[in-house]
Amino acid sequence: MRAVDEGLASCHTCGRVESASHHRCGRCGAALHVRKEASLQRCLAFGFAGILAYIPANVMPIMIVNQLGIEQANTILGGVFTFWRMHAYPVAITIFIASVLIPGLKFVSLGLLCAAAAGKLRLEGRLANTMYYLTELVGRWSMVDVFVVVILAGVIQLGNLMTIQPGGASLAFGLMVILTMLSAHAFDPRLIWDRLNKEPI
Amino acid sequence: MHQSVSSGWPRAGSVRHRVACEYCDTLHEVLLLPEGKAAHCTNCGKLLYQNRPESLQRAIALGVSVLLLTGLMMFFPFISLDAKGVESRMGIVGAVVHMWEAGSPLVSLAVGLFVLGLPIFLGAGLLFLCLPLSRRRYLPGMEVVMRLLQATEHWVMVEVFFLGALVSLLKLVKLAKVELEIGFWSMAGLMVCLAGALAGIDRLELWDRIEHAKERRER
């Protein structure tokens, strides 16, 4: 038996189960909804904005290294190749997974979940749960490259010898991570189960 | 008295208390769990709530540790470099300020918030809630703080920053002699304490305790 079938809603903030006719939760004061409001629209809007930011994040330089007066712009993929050539394979793989693979998979996963919630695609319920759980879990880890730039720019201030400046991609990348986190957060997995419950067994 | 505070939450087990699964909306009655056990949705398997052992006491201890370690991290250097006689030293606050001056104010704000601001808020917020609640006291504003804590907990990125520091080290050791300073080790500790603080107390339990303490005061 679902809460919605009994005319009940569980508060998205504190979890208290109340009559769905209330506008605010009696315990925590948050607005009470049966499902997250405009969940699909917001998830897709943040998702597409994230995809837009993903392009400059990979094309623009993430940092500009100035070594003895010579400027060199580094992109994220360039960094992966540099580490690969240095035979630092674990680092190259870590950066590739965190910066390129995880954001890409997040877009795919959110796209599939939205399609399933909109009834365009049939996803097994528990599989959808796992996909959503993982998408929320790994979201923050893509920020790692932005932090690397902050640390390197902060510590390498060696006058004429070498300095590091943040590039445009650091902002684009940070925005992309924030947007995909907001997108994942806006999605309501209950929508998928609602579809499954409507289908004849 | 003391026993009943630490074992299970005030009203788990009362009929009035129900919980709906966050993922599939299946309705369940809240049953009293032994400490250390968790309840899962009968339909989809998602975690519903858990009864963490010694939850309030642990949250208080970890909240204090989080504040202390964040303080150490802010006031002591993080990494220092020595490149053929040219020395450079970096602290977290310095790196955030430098980012602002280097023309990336938004990135600077994001780092300041995700790595410094939110951990401080999380530690202080947990203490504000759990210290009075461990004596079943209610303070006005607890609901607001709890809501803010829940809204911000996903955005704490100390462990991600730490991974970034490890990746940076691998670049730095090629350039210069690197020394790990107190700030670095404080962050390692902070990472562990934050994870413990977030996982150590169930949110339904905290809300129930707040409501219970409030009703007790009003009676």
Q: Are residues A125 and A175 in the same domain?
A: yes
Q: Are residues A5 and A45 in the same domain?
A: no
Q: Are residues A24 and A104 in the same domain?
A: no
Q: Are residues A123 and A185 in the same domain?
A: yes
The reported pLDDT for the residue numbered B12 is 61
Q: Work out how many domains chain A is built from and give that number.
A: 2
Could you report how far apart the first and last alpha carbons of chain A are, in Å?
A: 15
Q: ipTM of this model?
A: 0.90
Q: Are residues A29 and A49 in the same domain?
A: no
Q: Are residues A54 and A146 in the same domain?
A: yes
Residue-number span of the structural domain to which A21 is assigned: 1-34
Residues of chain A positioned with their CB less than 8 A from the CB of B204: 14-15
The reported pLDDT for the residue numbered B7 is 54
Cβ A16–B26 below 8 Å, yes or no?
no
pLDDT at B3 over 50: no
Residues of chain A positioned with their CB less than 8 A from the CB of B29: none
Q: Are residues A179 and A125 in the same domain?
A: yes
Q: Are residues A10 and A95 in the same domain?
A: no
Q: Are residues A102 and A60 in the same domain?
A: yes
Q: Are residues A26 and A42 in the same domain?
A: no
A44 CB within 8 Å of a chain B CB: no
Q: Are residues A87 and A178 in the same domain?
A: yes
pTM here?
0.91
Q: Are residues A23 and A59 in the same domain?
A: no
Residues of chain B positioned with their CB less than 8 A from the CB of A25: none
Nearest to A15 among B19, B26, B210 (CB): B19
Q: What is the pLDDT of residues A39-76, one digit of tens each?
A: 999 999 999 999 999 999 999 999 988 888 888 898 99
* Domain boundaries of chain B, sorted by first residue: 1-51, 54-218
Nearest CA to A178 among A135, A142, A128, A130? A142
